[in-house]
């Protein structure tokens, strides 16, 4: 059982600490062998052997958050629509400035 509690602590000035709730979560996770995404995972000895018996927790419990995928075509369409609205608003604004005899932008 690998538990990565590296993100679960109370920040301190000189030293970070674990609260009672953090201890309880660690103990319960170990006691009941709970697998929690980005926190804990049961690993077979065969997998540890395949990893060269490397017990580095980050090899077995990944804490990274997957980045949101961006649809560039959709973003481009939105940008084009926004630019069209800006042009319409600018043209309308310039009409008012022209009526008032002021310089247009």
**Mean pLDDT for the stretch of residues 8-27:** 95
If one counts the domains in the chain, the total is: 2
Whether residue 13 is found in the same domain as residue 49 = yes
Q: What is the DSSP string of 51-91?
A: TTT---GGGTS--PPPPPP--HHHHHHHHHHHHHHHHHHHH
Question: What local confidence, expressed as pLDDT, does residue 40 receive?
Answer: 98
Final residue belonging to a domain, choices 21, 39, 59: 59
Whether residue 49 is found in the same domain as residue 94 = no
- Bigger pLDDT: 64 vs 90: 90
Whether residue 8 is found in the same domain as residue 51 = yes
Residue 39 has pLDDT above 90, yes or no: yes
Residue 67 has pLDDT above 90, yes or no: no
Instruction: Report the C-alpha gap between 102 and 55 in whole angstroms.
Output: 73
Q: Give the single-character DSSP code of 91.
A: H
pLDDT over 70 percentage in the chain: 100
Question: What local confidence, expressed as pLDDT, does residue 2 receive?
Answer: 98
Residues 6 or more apart whose CB falls under 8 angstroms from that of 25 comprise 5, 8
**Mean pLDDT for the stretch of residues 52-56:** 97
Whether residue 48 is found in the same domain as residue 7 = yes
Range of the domain at 21: 2-59
Paired sense of beta strands 40-41 and 2-3, if any: antiparallel
């Amino acid at each position: 059982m690998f538990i990565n509690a590296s993100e679960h602590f109370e920040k301190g000035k000189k030293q970070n600490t674990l609260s009672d709730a953090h201890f309880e979560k660690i103990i319960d996770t170990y006691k009941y062998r709970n697998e929690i995404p980005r926190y804990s995972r049961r690993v077979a000895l065969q997998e540890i052997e395949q990893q060269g018996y490397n017990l580095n927790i980050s090899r077995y419990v990944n804490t990274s958050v997957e980045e949101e995928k961006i649809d560039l075509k959709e973003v481009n369409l939105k940008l084009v629509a926004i630019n069209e609205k800006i042009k319409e608003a600018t043209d309308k604004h310039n009409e008012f400035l022209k009526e008032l005899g002021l310089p247009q932008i």
